[in-house]
Amino acid sequence: MGKRRSNVHERSDLELITGSLKGKLYFREALYKRYFSYAMSVAVRYTASRNEAMEIVNDSFMKVLERLDTYDTSKPFKTWYVRIIVNTAIDGYRKKSKEKYLMNADMDFDDEGKEPEIETELSANDILALFSYLPDIYKLTFNLYEIEGYDHKEIGRILGISSSTSRSYLTRAKKLLRQLYVKYINSSEKNNEAV
Amino acid sequence: MKRFDNILIKRIRKAFSDYNVDHLADEGWNSFVRTKKKKRTGIIIPLWAKAASVAVLLTTVSIFTYKSFLNIKKTADNQTVNVAEQVAHNETTDVANIAQREPAPVDIQEPTDIREQIPVPAVKPFTEPDKSIEINEKHYSGPNKLPVSSSNVELDVNLKDYIDEKVLYYADFSFVKSVYENPEKGNERINLLAGLSGMMAQVDNSISTNPATSLGVYIERSISDRISFRPGLAIAMHGYNLNNNVLKENNVYAAPMINGMSGSVDSYEAQLNLLAMEIPLDIVFTVWERHKSKFYLSTGASTMVYLKQKFNGSFINAYTNETYNDLTGTVTYETNYSEVDVENNYGAFSHVDFFGLANFSAGYSIPLGKSNKLLIEPFVKLPVSDLTSLDLRVVYGGMSLKLKFLE
C-alpha cells in the first residue's frame, strides 16, 4: 500500500481519475495537487484575492469529484476542469449580485489619446494588482473574451446581458486597464528610473 | 491603442500561464478537506426537502380541514334527525292542542301585540329552565319541556326556526338565548375562516407607501368557551421602499474599489418586492360575547416563507481621492460619485423566518347570514427577528376581514 501511495504522483491522469472514482483519497489528493497551480492561475483571474481563488478551486474540485463519472475520458481533463472552474467563478459572481456599473464620466481618468508604451515584462502580481481595480463585471468580460476565448454572444448568454453590452464592458475594461497601467505601472517604472 | 491592448493582453496571458503556486498545494488540499468535512456536517436543506415539507404541511392542514367538515356535517345530520323526531313526537302528543289553536300570524314589527298573543304559561318555563334540557340535550327537547314550542309549532317547521322567528325576538330570557346558541356550539368547535388583509409596513422609521395584501385560510379550534387556537396559511404580497440607512452595511451591496480608491455608499433608493407564505399560529381570547357578536383579542406568531424576493436599488457611491501637495504641504480631497444599479433576485424558499413576527390583533365578529360570521380585525405584527434576506426590521399594521363559516 505504501509503495502504491509513494508512486501515485507518477500515474497518468486517467489512472488518477479511475482511482478517484473508486473513492481512493490519495488518488484524489494527487489529482488535486497536480492541477492546483493551474487551477489557481485560472481562478485568480476572477477574484480579488488568493484566498477567494482557493475557495473557487476547492468548490470546483468538489464538483469534479461529484461529476467525475460523467467525464469524457477521450478529452483532456485539464480543459474539462478549467470549464468547471470558470463556471464556478461565474456562479459566485451571479450569487453576489447582478450589478450594472454606470460609471460617471468624471470617474474615468482622461484618455489622453497617446498610446502608452509597454517595455517591461509584467509579473502575475502586477496583473493581479491591475485586475483588483477592475469592477467584477469588466473583469469577467475581459477574462471570458480575451483569455477563455468566448465570443460576445456566448458571454451575453452566460452573464445575462446583451452582446452589445458585453462589447461595451470589454472596451471599458481595456480602457481602464490602459489607464491603470499608465498610472500604476508606468509611473512606478519612471520613478525607479529617476531614482 | 490596439497595439498597446494586444501587447498587454499577450503579457497578461503569459503572466497567468507562468503563474505557479505549487508551494500552496498542500495548504490548498488541507483547506479542501476541511471544506468538504464542513459541507458534510453542515445542515443543508435542499430545495426538494423544503418543497416537500411545505407540501406535507399543506396536506396536513387540508386533511385536518376535511375531517373537521366531516365532523360538522355528521353533527348537523344528527341534530336534524333528532329535531325531526322531536317535532314528530310533539305533533302526536299535542295534536289536539294544535288543532284547537287558531293560527295567529305574528307581526314582528309590533312586539307588544304579539306578546299579548303568546300565552303566559307557554313562556314561563323558559324563565325556570329544566336542567335536563340545559345539561343533557344539545338538541331541542320535547313538548313537556318546551310547551311554548309545541303550542305554536307547525308540522314542517323545526323548533330552531320556530324559536328564531317567534320566540327569541320577544323573550329576552337567558335560557332561551342559551338554547338558541348552544346547538351551534357543537359546530363551533372547529371552524374554517377565509380572510383578506390590507396592511402598511414600516421599515425602521420610514413607512412604506406601497400597501400590502394578504389572502389566507385559517382554522379555529375551540379550546374552551373563551379561548381558541387559530392556525392558518396566507399568501402575502409586499413592497417596501427602502430609504437611506435602512439596509445593513454591506448586506446587499458594498461600494467596489474603483481605480484603486475604496468607496462608500453615499445614498440610495431601493425597493423590495416579495411574495411570502405566512403561517400564523394564534390564540384567540373572547373578551365579551353578546347575542351572536363578540369582541376578542388575538396573539401569536407567524412564520414567513419567502417564495420570491426582488430587490432593486440605485446606489450613489462616493470616492474621495486624497492628494498631498509636496510644495505647499497641503492635503486636498476630491470626491467623485458613481451611480450603480443593483438588482438581486432571491429564489423560492431561499429564506425562512421561523416565528419571525409577533401578531397582536383585536377583532369584532358579527353575524353574516344564517350560518356565517364576519370578523373585522385590526392588527399589528411586530418583528421578533430580522426579516427577509435583507435582514430588515419590518412592522406591519392593517385591517383584516375574515369570513367564518359556521356550517
Query: What CA–CA distance (Å, rounded) separates A41 from A43?
Result: 6
- Closest chain B residue to A60 measured between Cα atoms? B32
Would the pLDDT of B212 be above 70? yes
Complete domains list, chain A, with CATH = 2-97 (1.10.1740.10), 124-194 (1.10.10.10)
Contacting residues of A for B345, CB less than 8 Å apart: 98
Question: What single string gives the DSSP state of each residue in A73-88?
Answer: TTS-HHHHHHHHHHHH
Would the pLDDT of B153 be above 60? no
| Portion 337-396 of B in contact with A at CB < 8 A | 337-345
Q: Which long-range contacts (CB under 8 A, 24 or more apart) does A164-169 make?
A: A166/A141, A169/A137, A169/A138, A169/A141, A169/A142
Closest CA–CA distance from residue A74 to any residue of chain B (Å)? 24
Contacting residues of B for A103, CB less than 8 Å apart: 258, 338
Query: What CA–CA distance (Å, rounded) separates B54 from A14?
Result: 45
Query: What pLDDT sits at residue A56?
Result: 92
Q: What is the mean pLDDT of chain B?
A: 72
The answer to whether the Cβ–Cβ distance between A36 and B24 falls below 8 Å is yes
Contacting residues of A for B259, CB less than 8 Å apart: 107, 109, 133, 176, 179-180, 183
pLDDT tens digit sequence for A41-85? 899 888 877 888 899 999 999 999 888 888 888 888 988 999 999
Which residues make beta-bridge pairs with B258? B261
Query: What pLDDT sits at residue B9?
Result: 83
Query: What pLDDT sits at residue B285?
Result: 92
Which of B110-128 are b and which e, b meaning 16 or more Cβ less than 10 Å from the residue's Cβ? Answer: eeeebeeebeeebbebbee
**B15 shares contact with chain A (CB less than 8 Å):** yes
Would the pLDDT of A102 be above 60? no
The residue-averaged pLDDT of B239-258 equals 72
Listed residue (B390, B367, B371, B393) closest to B382, CA to CA: B393
Query: What CA–CA distance (Å, rounded) separates A94 from A75?
Result: 28
- Closest chain A residue to B259 measured between Cα atoms? A133
* Model ipTM over 0.95: no
The residue-averaged pLDDT of B117-145 equals 45
The answer to whether the Cβ–Cβ distance between B3 and A124 falls below 8 Å is no
| Torsion angle of the four alpha carbons A166, A167, A169, A175, in this order, in degrees rounded to the nearest 10 | 160
SS3 B390: coil
Higher pLDDT, B318 or B294: B294
User: What are the φ and ψ backbone dihedral angles of B153, each rounded to 5 degrees?
Assistant: -70, 140
Beta strands in B88-148 (DSSP E): none
- Closest chain B residue to A43 measured between Cα atoms? B16
CA angle B61, B62, B64 (to 5 degrees): 65
Listed residue (A158, A172, A96) closest to B343, CA to CA: A96
Listed residue (A158, A159, A153) closest to A137, CA to CA: A159
Confidence of residue B341 (pLDDT cuts 50, 70, 90): confident
Higher pLDDT, B380 or B139: B380
